[in-house]
Chains A and B, each alone.
Chain A
Amino acid sequence: MNQSRMISLLFLLIFALAACTPSAPATPSAAAMPITGATAEVVPSATVKLSAPASIEAASNPAATSAAQAPVRGKLVIYSGRSEPLLRPVIDAFKAQNPKVEILLKAGSNSEVANALIEEKANPQADLFITTEMFTVQSLAQQDIFQPYRPAGADLLPAEFIGPNNSWVGLTRRARVIIYNTDRVAKADLPKSIFDLTDPKWKGKIAAAGSTNGSMQAQIAAMRQLLGAKETEKWLVGLLDNKVTFFGGHTDVRKAVGTGEFALGLVNHYYYHLQLAEGSKVGVIYPDQGEGQVGLITNATGAAVVKGAPNAAAARAFIDFLISPEGQKLFAGQNYEYPLLPGVTLRAGVQPLDAFRLVKVDVVKAAQETDATFDLIEKVGLP
């Protein structure tokens, strides 16, 4: 028979497989590293916002006084570093209030989406950017990707969660914690610090998110700022030496710890609650609270209106909704996150942040040092 024809057929078919090779999976990057508090550099710029010329566009736009406006319409294009399931509740609720708006979501890892925004600077496609941590959004703001917007509700939020010149708005907070499987770890053996993760007794028993994950990138950036590049590098190399398994996202981490495949996992706090809700035997550690330890690393999700957005009005209305009591309740209730709006109650079981000593990181500085952070990640060869 026709062998050469069969060769052609196969060649052709090869794509059946080749096509199945996702090269760029939309990483479920739901988390971010927590940074607490912006330092002095941030706060002043945040306070300047109202008078800053940068807010002309916001000022000229009546959307600035959100809640009572007419329902928005048209297409709202959201680029998100947060994975779809974590945004679904707020999107559905917003859609219910504004039935005439069609919400189109493109979710990927933070920097994947950020790269798209930079690429599209001259030809903007997105209206709104949502991120899992503040460094990416600040870094983009420094590249002039956003238009300033100060929602009416912004005054109620802690000032350190408003970007310089109102370039972005914080949404929710999360803490970097250690999740553990209660079947595999005895209470007495629990690690107390993220530095315990480099202890050889945990060799091969730890899961974490890899270098493509925004929350992990942000944790490294924060540690770099706190402890210096050398110490951070030592910690990363320690993790690698300890045969930590790095996943693309935290959902994999929590599930693997939930089933006992790993004893410990480095995640954002709400992944512990999501896993617990699935009935797994897991516990949580808020690390580094002891004397002389660095403190709990936190970060915040953020949102910003893209410069030249085709439907900026809808983007503004959506931000208004996200920081409204209703939006904040959804984040807190459905996702177990820490709302930024004071007075919104935490979901039962979530430990209040007041109870912990938090790390302080300068967002603006961290964003400026993005390249150095990536250099470090590449140098140690974090997967």
Chain B
Amino acid sequence: MLKRGKTLMLPAWLSRYIDVRHAVRRRTSLAFPLSLAGLAGLVALFVAIPVVYIFVRAAGADLDDWQRLLQARIWKLLGNTLLLVAAVTGGTLLIGVSMAWLTERTDLPGRKILRWMFAMPLAIPAYIGGIVHLALLRPRGGLLPQMLENLFGQPVLTPSPLGFFGAAFILTLFTFPYVYLLSGAAFRSQHASLEESARMLGYNAWQAVFFVTLPALRPGLLAGALLVALDILGEYGTVALLRYETFSSAIFVQLSGRYDRSAAAVLSGVLVTLAMIILWTELRVQGQARFTQMDSSWRPAPLAALGRWRYLMLIVALGVVFTSLLVPVGVLLAWSVQSFLDPQTLQEVFRTGSRGFGSFAWNSLWTSTLAALVAVTLSLPVALFSVRHSGWISRFIARFCQVGYAIPGVVIALSLVLLVNRAVPILYATPFVVVIAYVLRHMPQAVRASEAALNQLSPALEEAARISGLTAFQAFRHVTLPLILPGLLAGGALVFLTSLKELPATLLLRPAGFDTLAVRVWVWAADGFYVQAAPAALFLVLASALPLFFLLRREQIFK
């Protein structure tokens, strides 16, 4: 079935030249718009609930709450947050773009393997990377400072991973792959004639890169930068670990402070508003990015010869791989071995019952799998409606389902705690609330993947099926679904991957005794039991690496 799908699917590059939307608009009367629209609307409603609820709560908060919050440190925290967002976005652009240029446009040795190495840090949650780097570099207490002290007999000043610079450094290390992948694909897709024309008009090679190649990548890069910005905005764990205060920590302080959740709702409302502005910008930019594609005479740009810079550049690239991938994985491996060698720790890690390793791993796997299934299923009506019946309503619904991107985990959790306990108490304190949180948070991934899959499938196939006498549902079931299945699987893999690592919502929503791998790692590491936390962290990284591998294989540059 999959094989048949492959031969029928339009190649990605070709689909760009066929105005699918236009072709579809004529067929609006053919399908099941009303029931489909209804279903899609229901999904959007479901997604909307937590956001709307947070805003209602925020609006309903006492004037006192608002005043107190406005007087307090909010402005400073907001400044801190924006500074970090700016720094990390800049850092990821610098590293991501330069590494992408090296692997896609130069004759750097080993670039095939390096591509994988640059993408794989995505399997490592930033807070796990932060834990490892902190254990290594912590001033005076870290392994490196201690080693140097033993070597030289006196304390040696080493760079600290703490505070603003530390947080920016760690977050850049574990976020840059987004920009790397995006700009890698963009570099690849650029037409050779672009730089050639620049050279003919008198630019040297460097000038061509800086004044022609990079500006042409701008829409894609901006989209990547905004993704990173959204991510950092909701970031809590890493910054908490590295002692840099951001806006999200204000929400947490409110949650662990007085017995009043209106204030937390107010802060959440403000944070979500901010995130929505970024998301809106991203959606606009993403729309524009479509118009930067190459024409039909496309051929790849030639590789630049690095010459004597070759090995220097290789060292720089390996340095990035070393700090963002080899060090975290290596240290986790070493700690895991250490925990296996110590019988007491081993017993601690692998106890049986609700606190055993097996139970965390199982909880992680089944909740993430269920979330992936539900999210992809729910995304189908939305994607069908928006792709096959394009119009302002369907586009609005599809856009609205992206709102999960703008809601940090802690806000979703807060909203669900308040909401589920009042509306569906029977669901409260069950693992299903955790699954609902995953679905809400990761719905955008599923919707985008389903839309992408449908966009590559010509509506002519469904049309033919309908003409041959199938009902709309039958046509979908027997023609469309089998053909878009690989795309849906990719969406599911993404939801699975990201749910696996979800921490804040899981921490707040899990019923007593229900721990996932991410929760366990965090609880152990928060108390400084790194060796105990390592096997769970390593398993988490490996379990994330698998779907990531599958997803990357689908992309051109990894084939």
Chain A interface (Cβ < 8 Å from any Cβ of B): 1-28, 75, 77-79, 83-85, 102-112, 114-116, 118-120, 122-123, 125-126, 139, 143, 211-212, 245, 247-249, 251-252, 255-256, 258-261, 370-371, 374-375, 377-379, 381, 383
20 sampled A-B residue pairs with Cβ under 8 A = A2-B12, A2-B556, A3-B293, A6-B555, A18-B441, A21-B126, A21-B127, A21-B504, A22-B127, A22-B503, A23-B237, A25-B240, A27-B256, A79-B512, A85-B527, A110-B256, A111-B256, A119-B421, A123-B428, A252-B528
CA gap between A4 and B188 in the complex, in Å:
13
Indicate if B466 sits at the interface (CB-CB under 8 A): no
Set A7, A12, A77: member contacting B491, Cβ < 8 A? A12
Q: Are A16 and B512 in contact (CB under 8 A)?
A: no
Indicate if B286 sits at the interface (CB-CB under 8 A): yes
Q: Are B182 and A7 in contact (CB under 8 A)?
A: yes
B:467-511 near A, CB below 8 Å: 491, 494, 497-505, 507-508, 510-511
- What are the residues of chain B within 8 A of A258 when measuring CB–CB? 141
Set B258, B259, B502, B526: member contacting A25, Cβ < 8 A? B526
- What are the residues of chain B within 8 A of A2 when measuring CB–CB? 12-13, 185, 189, 555-556
In the complex, which of the residues B441, B510, B528 has the most CB atoms of chain A within 10 Å of its own CB atom?
Answer: B528
Chain B interface (Cβ < 8 Å from any Cβ of A): 12-13, 68, 72-73, 76, 122-123, 125-128, 138-141, 174-175, 177-178, 181-182, 184-186, 188-189, 220, 223-224, 227-228, 230-231, 234-238, 240, 243, 245, 248-249, 251-253, 255-259, 261, 282, 286, 289-290, 292-293, 353-354, 405, 408-410, 413, 417-418, 421, 425, 428-429, 441-442, 444-445, 448-449, 451-452, 491, 494, 497-505, 507-508, 510-514, 518-519, 522-523, 526-529, 544, 548, 551, 555-557
What are the 4 closest A-B residue pairs judged by CB atoms, nearest first? A104-B513, A20-B125, A23-B410, A259-B141
Report A273 CB to chain B, min CB distance, Å: 15
Given A1-B557, A11-B445, A374-B257, CB of A255 within 8 Å of CB of B141: yes
CA gap between A258 and B292 in the complex, in Å:
57
- What are the residues of chain A within 8 A of B452 when measuring CB–CB? 5, 8
| Nearest residue, chain B, Cβ from A92 | B351
Given A78-B512, A106-B513, A255-B528, CB of A23 within 8 Å of CB of B448: no
Given A106-B511, A211-B257, CB of A14 within 8 Å of CB of B227: yes
Given A106-B511, A374-B257, CB of A8 within 8 Å of CB of B12: no
| Nearest residue, chain B, Cβ from A280 | B141
In the complex, which of the residues B12, B181, B409 has the most CB atoms of chain A within 10 Å of its own CB atom?
Answer: B409
Q: Are A17 and B512 in contact (CB under 8 A)?
A: no
CA gap between A125 and B509 in the complex, in Å:
12
- What are the residues of chain B within 8 A of A20 when measuring CB–CB? 125-128, 174, 237-238, 501, 503, 518
| Nearest residue, chain A, Cβ from B162 | A245
Dominant secondary structure at the B interface: helix
Report B501 CB to chain A, min CB distance, Å: 4
13 additional contacts, CB 8 Å, given A6-B185, A20-B128, A374-B257? A6-B220, A14-B178, A16-B544, A19-B441, A23-B503, A24-B236, A24-B410, A103-B513, A115-B255, A139-B259, A143-B259, A252-B528, A383-B253
CA gap between A371 and B418 in the complex, in Å:
21
- What are the residues of chain B within 8 A of A25 when measuring CB–CB? 236-237, 240, 252, 507, 522, 526
Given A9-B555, A17-B174, CB of A3 within 8 Å of CB of B292: yes
Given A12-B449, A212-B256, CB of A383 within 8 Å of CB of B413: no
Report B558 CB to chain A, min CB distance, Å: 11
Given A125-B511, A255-B528, CB of A212 within 8 Å of CB of B252: yes
Report A372 CB to chain B, min CB distance, Å: 10
Set B122, B289, B425, B544: member contacting A123, Cβ < 8 A? B425
Report A114 CB to chain B, min CB distance, Å: 6
Given A78-B512, A104-B354, A212-B256, CB of A251 within 8 Å of CB of B527: yes
Report B100 CB to chain A, min CB distance, Å: 11
Q: Are B408 and A10 in contact (CB under 8 A)?
A: no
- What are the residues of chain A within 8 A of B510 when measuring CB–CB? 106
CA gap between A4 and B555 in the complex, in Å:
12
CA gap between A114 and B413 in the complex, in Å:
16
Q: Are B413 and A23 in contact (CB under 8 A)?
A: yes
Report B307 CB to chain A, min CB distance, Å: 27
Report B51 CB to chain A, min CB distance, Å: 16
CA gap between A85 and B33 in the complex, in Å:
57
Given A21-B237, A212-B257, A371-B258, CB of A12 within 8 Å of CB of B445: yes
Q: Are A377 and B257 in contact (CB under 8 A)?
A: yes
Q: Are B418 and A119 in contact (CB under 8 A)?
A: yes
Q: Are A17 and B417 in contact (CB under 8 A)?
A: no
Q: Are A4 and B528 in contact (CB under 8 A)?
A: no
| Nearest residue, chain B, Cβ from A22 | B237
- What are the residues of chain B within 8 A of A107 when measuring CB–CB? 523
Q: Are B123 and A16 in contact (CB under 8 A)?
A: yes
CA gap between A370 and B260 in the complex, in Å:
12
CA gap between A265 and B293 in the complex, in Å:
59
Q: How many CB-defined contacts (below 8 Å) exist between A and B?
A: 308
Q: Are B448 and A8 in contact (CB under 8 A)?
A: yes
Q: Are A18 and B513 in contact (CB under 8 A)?
A: no
- What are the residues of chain B within 8 A of A120 when measuring CB–CB? 421, 428-429
- What are the residues of chain A within 8 A of B238 when measuring CB–CB? 20-21
Q: Are A122 and B425 in contact (CB under 8 A)?
A: yes
Q: Are B127 and A10 in contact (CB under 8 A)?
A: no
- What are the residues of chain B within 8 A of A381 when measuring CB–CB? 72-73, 76
Report B211 CB to chain A, min CB distance, Å: 21
Set B128, B181, B500: member contacting A9, Cβ < 8 A? B181
Q: Are B413 and A18 in contact (CB under 8 A)?
A: no
Q: Are A105 and B445 in contact (CB under 8 A)?
A: no
- What are the residues of chain A within 8 A of B68 when measuring CB–CB? 375, 378
| Nearest residue, chain B, Cβ from A109 | B256
CA gap between A251 and B421 in the complex, in Å:
33
- What are the residues of chain B within 8 A of A78 when measuring CB–CB? 512
| Nearest residue, chain B, Cβ from A211 | B253
- What are the residues of chain A within 8 A of B234 when measuring CB–CB? 18, 21, 23
- What are the residues of chain B within 8 A of A143 when measuring CB–CB? 259
Q: Are A105 and B72 in contact (CB under 8 A)?
A: no
Q: Are A13 and B185 in contact (CB under 8 A)?
A: no
Q: Are A13 and B236 in contact (CB under 8 A)?
A: no
- What are the residues of chain A within 8 A of B293 when measuring CB–CB? 3
CA gap between A255 and B289 in the complex, in Å:
50
Q: Are A84 and B527 in contact (CB under 8 A)?
A: yes
- What are the residues of chain B within 8 A of A377 when measuring CB–CB? 257
Given A104-B513, A249-B526, CB of A378 within 8 Å of CB of B72: yes
- What are the residues of chain B within 8 A of A251 when measuring CB–CB? 526-528
Q: Are A261 and B408 in contact (CB under 8 A)?
A: no
CA gap between A9 and B552 in the complex, in Å:
9
- What are the residues of chain A within 8 A of B177 when measuring CB–CB? 13
| Nearest residue, chain B, Cβ from A115 | B259
In the complex, which of the residues B418, B522, B523 has the most CB atoms of chain A within 10 Å of its own CB atom?
Answer: B523
- What are the residues of chain A within 8 A of B243 when measuring CB–CB? 245, 247
- What are the residues of chain A within 8 A of B188 when measuring CB–CB? 1
Q: Are B185 and A21 in contact (CB under 8 A)?
A: no
In the complex, which of the residues A8, A108, A383 has the most CB atoms of chain B within 10 Å of its own CB atom?
Answer: A8
Report B134 CB to chain A, min CB distance, Å: 10
Report A115 CB to chain B, min CB distance, Å: 6
CA gap between A21 and B271 in the complex, in Å:
15
- What are the residues of chain B within 8 A of A3 when measuring CB–CB? 182, 185-186, 189, 220, 289, 292-293
| Nearest residue, chain A, Cβ from B292 | A3
Given A5-B12, A261-B138, CB of A19 within 8 Å of CB of B73: no
CA gap between A259 and B354 in the complex, in Å:
35
CA gap between A258 and B142 in the complex, in Å:
12
CA gap between A123 and B293 in the complex, in Å:
56
Set A108, A111, A259: member contacting B258, Cβ < 8 A? A111
Q: Are B236 and A23 in contact (CB under 8 A)?
A: yes
Report B450 CB to chain A, min CB distance, Å: 10
| Nearest residue, chain A, Cβ from B261 | A115
Given A21-B234, A21-B238, CB of A212 within 8 Å of CB of B253: yes
